[in-house]
């Protein structure tokens, strides 16, 4: 916390820490976006491009992405640590993950067929 003498106001460093100077995005902006995304679907995979898309921004130099990944991990861990989880939700997530892998595997196999080759 930053404290100013003779002042009641205090500001957290994470609220004012600039993560992306290209888009002027703070850590607090990223955390709030991640929490909104987790509130929609707490088991979704969140990556920097998805966070930026939700904020209607684009990665320009993308030098901030490693820091954004760290914020995603930290925020997601804190989010799930504060929520009770049931076995049904975990099972549902695993079912969805297996279904996702199967769908993508089928798509990969379809692309590899001879009829889809360009040459």
Residue appearing with tokens 């990665």 = 59
- Alpha helices in 1-119, H assignment, sequence order: 13-16, 27-40, 48-54, 65-81, 87-111
Residue 51 has pLDDT above 80, yes or no: yes
Q: How far apart are the C-alpha atoms of 59 and 50, rounded to whole Å?
A: 10
List, for residues 5-24, the tens digit of each pLDDT value: 444 444 455 457 899 999 99
Report the alpha-carbon distance of residue 75 to residue 55 in Å, rounded: 16
| 3-state DSSP assignment of residue 111 | helix
Higher-pLDDT residue of 103 and 85 is 103
**What distance lies between CA 31 and its chain's CA centroid?**
9
- State the pLDDT at residue 103: 79
pLDDT tens digits along 57-78: 999 999 999 999 999 999 998 8
Total Cβ atoms within 10 A of residue 58: 11
| pTM, entire model | 0.62
Mean of pLDDT over the chain? 78
Q: Which residues, in sequence order, are bridge partners of residue 25? A: 20
Determine contact, residues 22/57, Cβ cutoff 8 Å.
Answer: no
């Amino acid at each position: 916390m930053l404290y100013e003498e003779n002042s009641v106001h205090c500001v957290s460093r994470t609220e004012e820490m600039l993560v992306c100077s290209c888009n002027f995005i703070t850590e607090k902006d990223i955390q709030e976006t991640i929490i909104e995304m987790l509130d929609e679907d707490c088991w979704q995979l969140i990556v920097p491009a998805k966070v930026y898309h939700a904020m209607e921004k684009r990665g320009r130099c993308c030098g901030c992405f490693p820091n954004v990944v760290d914020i995603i991990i930290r925020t997601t861990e804190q989010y799930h640590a504060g929520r009770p989880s049931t076995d049904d939700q975990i099972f549902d997530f695993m079912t969805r993950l297996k279904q996702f892998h199967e769908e993508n595997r089928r798509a990969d196999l379809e692309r590899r067929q001879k009829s889809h080759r360009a040459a």
